[in-house]
């Protein structure tokens, strides 16, 4: 490595010869050489007042180097100060940045910006299940109901009372003492005592036609079996009333009675029940008649000047204790 100081020239080796310096050497260093010895003699300078030393030009390369070195040092100091001193601004916390982005609410999707429409709202689709609608079931036709184990909703209770529908065109049973079973309208009622009472069923009839049925009795103790056709659903209206009175069920009579006074008008002789008592009603727009089959007894014509007529099947429990049991069967209605 060259140990020569910057700014000095390398001295050339002196020879034994004398070094000659030409030119103006005023106010300069005088060099005398003799052999291997060099003597430097500086002449005494005399500075005149007002006369100064001529300034030398600064070395541009050295100045630029010093400026660069100073800038590097200054920058290092500033950088270190920012890291050590408490008033230096702190770098952003990466934890706060991560928390803000990862735990923030998710960006709403395009679906969230859609406005709801009526077609997109589920209907309780529950639940948004649509509500069930009641389906009206027509009453079962009279004459077909008993064979289905049904009392059609066309029948009306007497005395009037609110009945419960099964939802299939039939009433819940029993209706009073009546229930349908195996094609029959069965009845059973009994009590230990009390005043007379009357129960039964009314059904509307067409303007004209006939209805035929069979009565089979099991018990008729202090009770009468009633059948008739009336201008309205009321047993006391001006109609035709037929009665099998209380007594022996195996041999009995069939009577015509006044609906209002309950007085007997006419009737049959005692008849054997056998397979049952058969009875028919024939009606027109103006009148009605009754017949005990087969042509045993026919009533007089009774005037009913209403196109709408009503068939009644029931019983009357007389004063005191009573018991009645039996059934209507082979029911046929014709227009």
pLDDT score of 68: 66
pTM of the prediction? 0.61
Average pLDDT over residues 213-231: 98
Model confidence at 194: pLDDT above 60: yes
pLDDT score of 204: 96
- Domains of the chain are 190-334 (2.60.120.200)
Nearest to 290 by CA among 306, 277, 276, 307: 277
pLDDT score of 184: 96
CA-to-CA distance for 224 and 215, rounded, in angstroms? 13
Higher-pLDDT residue of 34 and 65 is 65
Average pLDDT over residues 240-248: 97
Model confidence at 60: pLDDT above 70: no
Lowest mean pLDDT among 15-24, 250-259, 322-331: 15-24
Model confidence at 124: pLDDT above 80: no
Question: Looking up tokens 């009468």, which residue turns up?
Answer: 224
Nearest to 149 by CA among 124, 171, 133: 171
**pLDDT per residue as tens digits for the range 139-178:** 999 999 999 999 999 999 999 999 999 999 999 999 999 9
**pLDDT band at 137; cut points 50, 70, 90:** confident
**pLDDT band at 15; cut points 50, 70, 90:** very low
Average of per-residue pLDDT values in the chain: 77
Phi and psi based region of residue 60 (left: phi greater than 0; alpha: psi -120 to 50; beta: remaining)? alpha
pLDDT score of 136: 76
Phi and psi based region of residue 194 (left: phi greater than 0; alpha: psi -120 to 50; beta: remaining)? left
The answer to whether the beta carbons of residues 226 and 312 sit under 8 Å apart is yes
Higher-pLDDT residue of 318 and 105 is 318
Model confidence at 62: pLDDT above 70: no
Interior angle at CA 177, CA 171 and CA 178, nearest 5:
45
**pLDDT per residue as tens digits for the range 199-216:** 999 999 999 999 999 999
CA-to-CA distance for 164 and 150, rounded, in angstroms? 13
């Amino acid at each position: 490595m060259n140990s020569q100081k910057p700014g000095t020239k390398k001295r050339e080796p002196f020879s034994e010869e004398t070094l000659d310096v030409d030119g103006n050497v005023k106010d300069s260093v005088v060099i005398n050489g003799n052999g291997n010895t060099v003597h430097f003699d500086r002449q005494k300078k005399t500075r005149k007042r007002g006369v100064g030393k001529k300034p030398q030009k600064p070395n541009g390369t050295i100045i630029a180097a010093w400026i660069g070195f100073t800038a590097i040092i200054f920058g290092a100091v500033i950088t270190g100060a920012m890291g050590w001193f408490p008033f230096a601004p702190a770098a952003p916390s990466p934890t706060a940045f991560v928390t803000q982005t990862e735990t923030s609410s998710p960006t709403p999707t395009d679906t969230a910006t859609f406005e709801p429409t009526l077609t997109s709202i589920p209907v309780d689709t529950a639940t948004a299940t649509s509500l069930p609608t009641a389906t009206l079931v027509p009453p079962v036709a009279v004459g077909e109901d008993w064979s289905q184990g049904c009392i059609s909703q066309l029948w009306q209770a007497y005395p009037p009372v609110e009945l419960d529908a099964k939802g299939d065109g039939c009433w819940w049973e029993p209706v009073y003492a009546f229930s349908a079973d195996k094609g029959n309208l069965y009845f059973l009622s009994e009590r230990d005592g009390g005043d007379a009472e009357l129960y039964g069923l009314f059904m509307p009839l067409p303007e004209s036609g006939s209805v035929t049925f069979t009565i089979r009795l099991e018990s008729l103790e202090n009770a009468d079996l009633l059948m008739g056709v009336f201008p309205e659903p009321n047993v006391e209206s001006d109609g035709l009333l037929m009665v099998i009175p209380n007594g022996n069920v195996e041999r009995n009579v069939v009577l015509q009675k006044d609906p209002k006074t309950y007085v007997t008008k006419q009737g049959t002789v005692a008849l054997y029940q056998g397979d049952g008592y058969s009875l028919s009603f024939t009606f027109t727009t103006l009148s009605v008649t009754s017949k005990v089959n087969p042509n045993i007894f026919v009533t007089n014509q009774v005037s009913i000047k209403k196109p709408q007529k009503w068939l009644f099947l029931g019983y009357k429990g007389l004063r005191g204790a009573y018991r009645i049991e039996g059934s209507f069967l082979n029911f046929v209605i014709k227009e």
